[in-house]
Structure 1
Amino acid sequence: MTAATANRWVRLARRNLPLLAVAAVVLVAVIFVLAERWRRGAFVFGLATLLAAGFRLCLPEEEVGLLAVRGQTFDVAALTAVGGAIVWLAVSIDPLGTG
């Protein structure tokens, strides 16, 4: 592997690191859902969405990779609204069978 190729892979990995971090948190959420812990899975999924909003807000356009879909204001507002709604729903729904 040449130095130019290695440098290209490092830049690609660095640029997509925020997306990989969000994907790892989503994977944890999926594992919770598959283990029949759907409320925890929904909560963690909401946190992953809020994490994506935080990355989009704090990192420059060059470093957020595929998390940049539209303008920064729209992306942050949409991700925060959806993530906040998911977290709120996950914590506000009473668990079944605890009447």
Structure 2
Amino acid sequence: MLLITCPWCGDRAEAEFSYGGEADIVRPLSSDDLTDREWGTYIFMRQNPRGKSHEMWLHAQGCRRWFKATRDTVTYKFDSFEKIGPTAHVQSDRRVDQE
């Protein structure tokens, strides 16, 4: 069984995760001005590298948070995991409201 490290939950079975594709894809600022070919390139064309790849993953059956992972597509070995966005909300489910 392959273990994937969720940056919030730790090591979990691969079955708990969903692959989200290539990381760091930048959406065009003015998508209304794109041609159909340019929009299709943005939507469908990806690098698909052999070797080190930066990917998005979702801990679908756990904390339901997205994170970035660096993985070798040849060996399937994960090198690193990174939280996305501000981490202040991570503690929000544990906070006790004070009156």
In terms of fraction of residues, the more helix-rich structure is: 1
TM-score (norm 1): 0.26
TM-score (norm 2): 0.26
In terms of fraction of residues, the more strand-rich structure is: 2
Bigger relative contact order (CA 8 A; separation at least 6): 1
